[in-house]
Chains A and B, each alone.
Chain A
Amino acid sequence: MKTNNEIIAKYFSGLLSEKEIIQFEERLITDSALKNDVEKFLSLKKIDVNNVELDERYFANLILRTREKIGNRAKSKLHKLAIGVPSLAITIILVFMLTKSNMNNEKNSLSHEIITNLNDTQIVQQYFTDIDEATKETYYNILVNEKPSVEFVDEKEKEKILAVYDSFIDDQIDENSLSQIELNNIISKIDFKNSK
């Protein structure tokens, strides 16, 4: 029986050579068992599924149901967009606001920390180290145009510093430039704590 199944399957699959096909068809005439097995298979094949009587109402409604689903999906897409787009916009705005507020908080807390823990000299030394040319020029102009108003307890010290300041200004006016080291140098000599 198993041998018949194999040869029948090979015959109908087109896996036999021409010679084997002829042999198989000759066997079909004489071998009743083989003939019987082939007929059983062919009877299964005979079911004409394409002519089975069907409930036509199903097919009459099919297009309507499909169109309804297409419509619902389109609506649901629009609905999702109508909710999704404003939600996304609100989220972006909130994230932006939170980030900005965090940045401000960070700035405020840094300012607070600086004001609380450091004196003016330390602030200048630690935070005004990376001074670009434009800032340097601003400092230079301030130094040229406005003498720092400083109160000193010790008059000698005051004179000493003002002398340094004046000589520095005299030197720098011609050169029209001010290095960072020089700037730090002059600033470090002024007691900002006592400035008005």
Chain B
Amino acid sequence: MNREEDFNLVKRFVEGDERAFNEIVKKYQKRIYWHARQMLGNHLDADEVTQEVLILMYKKLKSFNFQSNLFTWIYKIVTTRSINQIRKNQIKRFFSIDDEENPLELKSNNDIIEDISNKEKIEKLNKVLEKLPAKQRQVFIMRNFDDLSYEEISQITGKSVGGLKANYFHALKKVLEYTNENE
């Protein structure tokens, strides 16, 4: 995560070294995937968003000016793309007459999580996260699983710290209510 290392990688890429981009991808791909995965709750959507993010990074990295950390910038892209994907899915679901179970089955069969115990835990977590609106889900994930401070989240999302606290409070309340109901 070292800023200087990122700076050198971006500089090399801007100067035409394509391998530098591969190195940036290798460095951040898992974090990108996981954030998308938690936001979207399944592998297929997370994969789509991850690839979109990497393509966008490839296109826009040349104009990155290091006003923020590279990962903050990447995070911003992942989080925006994930929210867009959630909205797309909601629209698809709204207009879809088909049985909803089939796509879910397809989504859960295509997964890259290898250990079953964790898979169950993550599925349980996904069920909780599904109950949250996109913006609350975003703050909840960033606070709980990425251990980001409100200030860092504010930098990424462009929201005020007060607004983020309120979002997180509502998210937490819903999560607690859900976990109590499903005991």
Contact = CB atoms under 8 A, between A and B. Distances in A.
A8 B55 contact: no
Interface string A41-55: 100110101101111
Given A44-B128, A73-B55, A49 B34 contact: yes
Contact of B112 (A8, A41, A58): A58
Interface in A61-94: 62-63, 65-66, 69-70, 73
Contacts of A9: 169-170, 172-173, 176
Report whether over half of chain B's contact residues are helix, strand or loop; otherwise say mixed.
helix
A127 interface: no
Interface residues of B, number: 40
B180 A5 contact: yes
A55 B112 contact: yes
Nearest to B31: A50
A84 to B, nearest CB: 20
- Chain A interface residue bracket vs B: 20 to 34
A12 B172 contact: yes
B100 interface: no
Contacts of B42: none
A52 B115 contact: yes
Interface of A: 1-2, 4-6, 8-10, 12-15, 37, 40-41, 44-45, 47, 49-50, 52-55, 58-59, 62-63, 65-66, 69-70, 73
12 contacts: A9-B172, A9-B173, A9-B176, A15-B165, A15-B169, A40-B179, A41-B172, A45-B145, A53-B113, A62-B29, A63-B25, A69-B55
